[in-house]
Structure 1
């Protein structure tokens, strides 16, 4: 059988989708932001969804300027749960170029709990004929009134036990054979975590750690499964396992007392004759303590496999060795008096292994890249295309005699281990991010794992063997670890690398961005960002996956959302997080520092997650409904801090954390300036939101407020004697320069010079914490010092991103929490923290030069190093899968030996879009001598106008920038400068 590497298969699919634009149908179809190709059991939770699709293209480079001129959508019901009234909607041919967020325009809403299917076709500007129809795409609607149904149904109980560790439940039920089964739908929520089984099999095997973590009394998520194929006429059995998860007081540090685990379950079975039956969670179930004796997110799992009952979720199971008893009816987690709600989990679930990550871009495949392996250099760590399962790259006996292994990659997940030994034999697995290094701080042996930085989290699993004749496989069920290394204590058998594999675990997502260059330092940073980001999307954006924290810290989320949305398709993930923030927003607009949490009020640079994530989702996806949904909450939040500002002014504006963790020995910059930056930043976002939504009164009000704040910021923090802001530190200058309108033109040069001089005096190193690090690289690129930004990002000496993986102690494959993690003490010292990952947005928006803020108009302006520094980045290749299709940007400096001071730029612009492609001078004062596309001259310095009439070329006489306006297609430009 032919075996294909995942990327090879993706490449074939990519080619297939680009061969014949006249006959192929639209692809990568989405409904309500769900990708239909990768979503199992597609469930739509609103009665009026939107549709998006991509237009197929030809790989013939002469096929350009492809635009949609019309579309048609047909939607119909297929089988209904409660009635047989057929429904059909045909949009007919709609003359429109719109291909994203296309509304469902029928006068009738979609019905609750109903199966539908739809298909679509399009007409293009290149043909009079319609494309082929897509295949019929199946989906179903959820129970729109699920909260009311649960609250008002007295037969439906939350069940569990306050007396014993009851974590395994079962029930048998009869499905009559009077009529064929039409459909069977389950709704279930188990807190903290659950697993669902029907007739002996787990429903959705790769789905883990479900449901997502919420403020349970305000919002509890419930999942739905189509189990029509899982049940039959006659007797059936259902089983549920429960884990403590975040519902446990152990995880909440005693702050919140929710009580023991519990679950709620209902099954609707519909028959062809119109009848229906239901199965509820009630006291007719029986439960026991299963093999999991204790589970904890922080502390791992204790599993005694002698308690396994292989047939426990099958019909006719009889257990003579365990005591199965009636569960108790427990209180609902929802606090109705606090307007708590039970809602469908509308984001992709957490998954383990290959099902967790999908691909829309080509990775590790040089057929689609203009860089080769020698250009890129060796990347330390695992590839995202490794299938979501990591195996040890090394295994040894540590100094203490313990079996220890190295995965070669810091990750979030767990170990799947193959053991063989006698019944009752116990083994113990500990997880760690690093091997202890004999520095002054550590003072440990070099071959043992280092766990002190996990703080109170033991991050360990205990497994007791049942004594199978051949071997038995253990992997934990209701915990997750952040680690690269593992030690197995008291192993019953001599394990090899073939006995250990570790599934990578995170919220299901799609890789949509790929960025690589001829600069190996940048490539490793990009690798570390992507792996760090995946490790910290665990139903909500977390700070770190390993120690006793893993919280939804909003500062981390706000700083990295732009980067995350360039790399991964996460719109549903972040919409869920916005809902979690809104859930705990107080009436005065106040929100906490982390969610779920009660740490009010948020530091302004943490609370900014609410406006920042809202705005970035709109920027990346162009869906105005996102702004509409959260506008009032953003406005209330800004007004809360406006009230605080009215009491203190900017000079004493509230601050809790400031510019967190600058590199020692440097202190934080002025704390009130740091917080004032966040306040102005959020007012500016709200101003932009009001303009998009045409709320003119708010636009006028916040325009005046922002203008006033910019003047006060400058007045309060600018040192007129020294021509710098506050204490003169890098953070203060970078943040002032990043805010539009703050630094007056007559002093801007002096402020920039001071910043640059300070960086130079520090050996081209930053002294910034997480807030200002996110701004310093764009500020330098925007103010004539892109060379310096490239030098800083290419540095491998302390403090720098490169130092994280080139220091003599440990080589990072994710980002550190601290610039000096390798030599700092245990305490707060994560090796897989994402907050410094903000620089990843600069990679896409400045190094590749991608700007998608104008909907279907793409701006591509790669920022160029000077000729003196071109060795820092001679080649770049960037892919970004937008809602319209693949954007590909690739450049090479002075590729042709006979031509210096040139750039060869190759771009792919997806159909239904246009692009402004901007060429920068390659040296100060440079002028474009010649601009060629293919073998056609578009511009020559000998002519003052565009030579090739099919292209619109503009030259900026002041900056020397050359702009070419193009439609969709593939282009190869050569620009020569003199």
Structure 2
């Protein structure tokens, strides 16, 4: 059988990216239907053109035949040039020496790599900016590098450039400003051309510590077919004007007066003599850096399910789903008619909106008609979190087609899926999925609807594993790790929000994001780059925590086990317990990170410090058969990290079980930190039935209760609350249950970074079937488990991975394919791809190489 060509070629974890900086990482996936196949070597070439690459010539860099099982390599050729396109492809050899065909050709295009490569100036002076220029020769390639603050939209010859919205992603603009790179070759025309920029406020505003003006910078690089080049930049020759966007605000919405539109302002031939000259300005202090994270985009549309009329002239569209984005309005009416769209998560049965939980956010878009025919409006520089849209001032009577929901978020690739025989589990998963996407807006936000929408470090560190199981998160999280490092104080403290657009105090369970997120990326994707970038910040953070500790007990904290049932503050779990636990966990992880990076002294140092914190934790908080107050969280945390003395494990576990089963009738009583680890801890100690009972409750407090009360995303609180205050109905911090679905119901968990080795061990719970898949850097992992008279289990292990498959022994004999490998409880034989078989704790533990395996238990 021939070996297949590599697929899924990615540069910096992105397919054919533009704006690449530094020495990029190049990765690929190898596939083969045979079992036990491994890559033994590869050869990668980088070329100046697609034609050269197709000739199998690496005139930029040729790695030669490299003996390696790794499916990622860092570019190691001559320094890359700014604004240059490179083409690359790869082939591989398997463990039998068979050579694959070359892959298809992929490419990457570099950004402006040096500060001196920027010849453009920052300009300001209006909400619309334009510049005409001539193109007199055939164009081979045209690339534009651009950003605007707070937000921008780029136009060229009357068309929008690219599909990004709400760009650039938020950063601390005093540290970094992200620019986008676009290929506009096909958009240029011979003769006159026009570049236009629309600017919005975003977060580049006085209330966030920046200048209160809109600025832009752009550089267009044109290469003609005759080899000559031309450049168009923002400078004093540009013209500016105001436009139809009268007002725009992230929280309050957008006011758009179509009567103020300037038709064809972004096309050649427009008379801009009455426009103002722009001002060349200094611009923000932050360095220009290429934006390589997934852009925020219009991802899909939602048709409303119902049109309600609570009062004459008031029309409320029920989308049936809580999400982030805006409404697309279709309307026809007299000039000057003002249509108002108000957004809300909640409404009563008649359609009356309840907007109290938006707090100060007005969440209102206003459109003023130009008149003269059908008009379609979408906002440009705001977004909302909502399910309901109230429309007033509509001329005539709208229909269900008059308003469409536009789903907007960072366009991360979906990579995971899970489905079970329990509809409630599936509904919870769907609610988490929608909630996570609603809170990916260039940073991982807490909520999309009220006057907040910040990059809270606590919410994001708790949900990082869930997000990595569902979506391709490397480029997104690597950008956000930079935000955290930028926000870190000189003494090592990590604030509660990054970028720090709110100045709020820190907390160990929030600041731990500087450790948890890089470590999660390493575990799930296997690349050490993020550990190398973050290591100094991680070490400074842990040293900061130790500076606050007394005799290795950390009593400093702000929020701790936030939002337990019936409370906001952790009334039953002392801050000193959660803070000291974080000190232990972060010291332990830092020691492991140091080991990965070869920092032996640090590995020993922080390993020893972790041991001392563990001893102090037990001395301070262990009270016989429970910890501290005996709350669920107090017992769960030390059990999860194996901190409990061996002779006390059973007593502490039993205390936890009594609290869950007797005191709370199989319900949780945890805040966000305890919730993250409760179910997994119960499963770890053989109590998966209890964990499953908690996860599938439908009475308060539970995820099922939220759904029973109409939730389509996970709430911020366990209670149904609609009044003013802290009660978002689209939060992600309690969505961590989804990681347990993948890790314990489907049984998929990483054993070695990047899924080089993983385990499949589904918990014994009352499910007829569970199916799950996770796309990994080595390819797709798949698990299917069906329970009936016997058990059927199918597992797919990608090339380059190994797996420890634990098949639930619901019978005494097992077949793999057509081969009986266990008869009457005794292991009989092995088969192709299986390296070891043994019976262990109600499971048949099978060590397998790559391939597809089908087990039948009877």
TM surpasses 0.5:
yes
The Cα of 1:133 is off from its aligned counterpart by 2.1
> Is residue 65 of structure 1 aligned with residue 36 of structure 2?
yes
**Matched-pair contact (CA < 8 Å) for 2:36–2:833:** no
- For residues 722-770 of structure 1, the C-alpha deviation after alignment (integer angstroms, 9 at most, x for no partner) is x211111111011121223x20011111111011100112111111000
Equivalent residue in structure 1 for 2:638, among 732, 736, 751: 736
Equivalent residue in structure 2 for 1:716, among 598, 620, 624: 620
Q: 1:614 maps to what in 2?
A: 518
The Cα of 1:144 is off from its aligned counterpart by 0.8
Q: Distance in 2 between matches of 1:132 and 1:255?
A: 54
Equivalent residue in structure 1 for 2:80, among 89, 98, 110: 110
The Cα of 1:787 is off from its aligned counterpart by 0.3
> Is residue 787 of structure 1 aligned with residue 689 of structure 2?
yes
> Is residue 656 of structure 1 aligned with residue 631 of structure 2?
no
Equivalent residue in structure 1 for 2:627, among 725, 733, 751: 725
**Matched-pair contact (CA < 8 Å) for 1:392–1:406:** yes
Q: 2:657 maps to what in 1?
A: 756
Q: Distance in 1 between matches of 2:732 and 2:438?
A: 9
Distance 1:55 1:257, change over 3 A: closer
**Matched-pair contact (CA < 8 Å) for 2:19–2:180:** no
Q: 2:760 maps to what in 1?
A: 861
**Matched-pair contact (CA < 8 Å) for 2:813–2:823:** yes
**Matched-pair contact (CA < 8 Å) for 1:939–1:948:** no
- For residues 598-627 of structure 1, the C-alpha deviation after alignment (integer angstroms, 9 at most, x for no partner) is 636520000011100010000010002221
Q: Distance in 2 between matches of 1:652 and 1:824?
A: 36
> Is residue 328 of structure 1 aligned with residue 306 of structure 2?
no
- For residues 426-461 of structure 1, the C-alpha deviation after alignment (integer angstroms, 9 at most, x for no partner) is 010001111147xxxxxxxx5211111000001110
**Matched-pair contact (CA < 8 Å) for 2:746–2:761:** yes
**Matched-pair contact (CA < 8 Å) for 1:659–1:668:** no
Equivalent residue in structure 2 for 1:285, among 234, 238, 255: 238
Q: 2:482 maps to what in 1?
A: 579
- 1:331-346 matched pairs, under 5 angstroms: 331-334=282-285, 340-346=286-292
Q: 1:187 maps to what in 2?
A: 145
The Cα of 1:588 is off from its aligned counterpart by 1.8
Q: 1:406 maps to what in 2?
A: 318
The Cα of 1:944 is off from its aligned counterpart by 5.8
The Cα of 1:49 is off from its aligned counterpart by 2.1
Equivalent residue in structure 2 for 1:52, among 7, 13, 27: 27
Q: Secondary structure at the match of 2:773?
A: strand
Distance 1:743 1:268, change over 3 A: same
**Matched-pair contact (CA < 8 Å) for 1:120–1:133:** yes
For these two proteins, the number of residue pairs brought into alignment is 848
Q: Secondary structure at the match of 1:558?
A: helix
Distance 1:668 1:309, change over 3 A: farther
> Is residue 917 of structure 1 aligned with residue 816 of structure 2?
no
> Is residue 479 of structure 1 aligned with residue 359 of structure 2?
no
Q: 1:674 maps to what in 2?
A: 578
Q: Secondary structure at the match of 2:35?
A: coil
The Cα of 1:23 is off from its aligned counterpart by 6.6
Q: Distance in 2 between matches of 1:489 and 1:824?
A: 23
Q: Distance in 2 between matches of 1:188 and 1:195?
A: 10
Q: Distance in 2 between matches of 1:692 and 1:960?
A: 34
Distance 1:248 1:79, change over 3 A: farther
**Matched-pair contact (CA < 8 Å) for 2:26–2:73:** yes
Distance 1:270 1:824, change over 3 A: closer
Q: Which moved more, 1:603-612 or 1:88-97?
A: 88-97
> Is residue 269 of structure 1 aligned with residue 222 of structure 2?
yes
Q: Secondary structure at the match of 1:404?
A: strand
Q: 2:202 maps to what in 1?
A: 245
Distance 1:303 1:824, change over 3 A: closer
Q: 2:45 maps to what in 1?
A: 74
Q: Distance in 1 between matches of 2:830 and 2:488?
A: 59
Distance 1:465 1:945, change over 3 A: same
Equivalent residue in structure 1 for 2:819, among 917, 922, 936: 936
- 1:781-860 matched pairs, under 5 angstroms: 781-807=683-709, 811-820=710-719, 822-823=720-721, 825-855=723-753, 856-860=755-759
The Cα of 1:149 is off from its aligned counterpart by 3.8
Q: Distance in 1 between matches of 2:284 and 2:45?
A: 41
Equivalent residue in structure 1 for 2:530, among 615, 626, 635: 626
**Matched-pair contact (CA < 8 Å) for 1:654–1:675:** yes
Distance 1:660 1:228, change over 3 A: same
**Matched-pair contact (CA < 8 Å) for 1:946–1:952:** no
Distance 1:812 1:175, change over 3 A: same
- For residues 36-57 of structure 1, the C-alpha deviation after alignment (integer angstroms, 9 at most, x for no partner) is 3xx5xx33212x3222112234
**Matched-pair contact (CA < 8 Å) for 1:22–1:127:** no
The Cα of 1:307 is off from its aligned counterpart by 1.5
The Cα of 1:402 is off from its aligned counterpart by 0.8
Distance 1:349 1:228, change over 3 A: same
Q: Secondary structure at the match of 2:813?
A: strand
Q: Distance in 2 between matches of 1:849 and 1:703?
A: 29
The Cα of 1:937 is off from its aligned counterpart by 1.2
Equivalent residue in structure 2 for 1:419, among 307, 319, 331: 331
Q: 1:158 maps to what in 2?
A: 122
Q: 2:673 maps to what in 1?
A: 771
Q: 1:509 maps to what in 2?
A: 412
> Is residue 139 of structure 1 aligned with residue 108 of structure 2?
yes
The Cα of 1:951 is off from its aligned counterpart by 3.1
**Matched-pair contact (CA < 8 Å) for 2:314–2:391:** yes
The Cα of 1:967 is off from its aligned counterpart by 1.6
Equivalent residue in structure 1 for 2:90, among 120, 133, 138: 120
The Cα of 1:950 is off from its aligned counterpart by 6.1
**Matched-pair contact (CA < 8 Å) for 1:953–1:962:** no
Q: Secondary structure at the match of 1:414?
A: strand
Distance 1:906 1:307, change over 3 A: same
Distance 1:857 1:188, change over 3 A: closer
Distance 1:297 1:189, change over 3 A: same
Q: 1:366 maps to what in 2?
A: none
Distance 1:886 1:942, change over 3 A: closer
Distance 1:585 1:942, change over 3 A: closer
The Cα of 1:960 is off from its aligned counterpart by 4.6
Q: 1:380 maps to what in 2?
A: none
Q: Secondary structure at the match of 2:441?
A: coil
Q: Secondary structure at the match of 2:616?
A: helix
Q: Secondary structure at the match of 2:723?
A: coil
- 1:276-315 matched pairs, under 5 angstroms: 276-315=229-268
Q: Distance in 2 between matches of 1:579 and 1:947?
A: 49
Q: Distance in 2 between matches of 1:329 and 1:90?
A: 45
The Cα of 1:182 is off from its aligned counterpart by 3.1
- For residues 560-617 of structure 1, the C-alpha deviation after alignment (integer angstroms, 9 at most, x for no partner) is 0010000000101000000011112222212211012163652000001110001000
Q: Which moved more, 1:811-820 or 1:428-437?
A: 428-437
Q: Distance in 1 between matches of 2:331 and 2:598?
A: 64
- For residues 916-968 of structure 1, the C-alpha deviation after alignment (integer angstroms, 9 at most, x for no partner) is 1123456xxxxx732221221112346466465863344356x3543111122
Q: Secondary structure at the match of 1:461?
A: strand
**Matched-pair contact (CA < 8 Å) for 1:159–1:327:** yes
Q: 1:899 maps to what in 2?
A: none
- 1:360-759 matched pairs, under 5 angstroms: 388-399=300-311, 401-436=313-348, 446-469=350-373, 471-597=374-500, 599=503, 601-645=505-549, 648-649=550-551, 651=553, 653-664=555-566, 667-720=571-624, 723-740=625-642, 742-759=643-660
> Is residue 317 of structure 1 aligned with residue 199 of structure 2?
no
Distance 1:79 1:342, change over 3 A: farther
Structure 2: stretches of 5+ with no match in the other structure: 52-57
Q: Distance in 1 between matches of 2:718 and 2:677?
A: 17
Q: Distance in 2 between matches of 1:97 and 1:682?
A: 31
Q: CA RMSD in A?
A: 2.2
Q: Distance in 2 between matches of 1:459 and 1:676?
A: 40
Q: Distance in 2 between matches of 1:818 and 1:207?
A: 33
Q: Which moved more, 1:450-459 or 1:310-319?
A: 310-319
**Matched-pair contact (CA < 8 Å) for 1:938–1:953:** no
**Matched-pair contact (CA < 8 Å) for 1:677–1:739:** no
